[in-house]
Amino acid sequence: MKLGVLFSGGKDSCLALHRAVAAGHEVVCLLTLLPDREDSWMFHTPALEWTALQAEALGIAQLTAATPGEPEAELADMQALLARAQRETGISGVVTGALASTYQATRIQRACADLGLWCFNPLWQLPQPELLETLLAERYEVVVTAVAADGLRPEWLGRRLDRAAVDELLALADRHGLNPAGEGGELETLVLDAPFFRQRLRLLETSPEFHAGAGRLQIRKAVLA
């Protein structure tokens, strides 16, 4: 089936894309919403400007749309982007990286249903420790781009999700009750390399910004290697 992927550049959307391809589907476009607000209700916001490099590394066309980030407006903007992809690329369905958020999943499913599109959630209800172990086993190179939780200090910004980092996240989950894969917004990520990338992203200039228990990694320059 010809599919588009709701794509943020983070670990969940990249793994969902990988799962869709492994299931025999043809992914023909990446669909990225660009919220004006950092605290979007629906969509990932850190490092979205670098998804264009990821699309190039994947060899998949990207369609983007701006959205103000308000709850109802961003849903309408998402549906408009899905309809555009349906017209321009002939997709029959949409892949999401939804893991456990019913708020996100139900709204995407409703938008797809209104357009007659299949909504494919290959990661739905996957245990978060299992997701992190999958990233390690499949040699994803993932960097943390935002944090907002007890125990996640400034040094996490720019950190790779390697064995030590995953073990520490699992320990923090036990200690503080956070979601180890960031499903509650505790952390956001950017995928630099994965099994299906033709090239990898290389971050050349970054700076962490941390205030009042939360922070973001500002990426000033990146290239494909």
Greatest alpha-carbon pair distance for the chain in Å reads 48
3-state secondary structure of 47: coil
Residue, of 44 and 149, whose pLDDT is higher: 149
Which of 131, 134, 154 minimizes the C-alpha distance to 144?
154
CATH dotted code for 138-224:
3.90.1490.10
For residue 71, the one-letter residue type is P
Convert the pLDDT of each residue in 36-91 to its tens digit: 877 665 676 789 999 999 999 999 999 999 988 677 788 899 999 999 999 999 99
Query: Hey, where are the domains in the chain?
Result: 2-120, 138-224
Element (H, E) at 144: strand 141-148
Q: Which CATH superfamily is domain 2-120 in?
A: HUPs (3.40.50.620)
Check whether 119 has a pLDDT greater than 70. yes
The predicted structure's pLDDT at residue 39 = 67
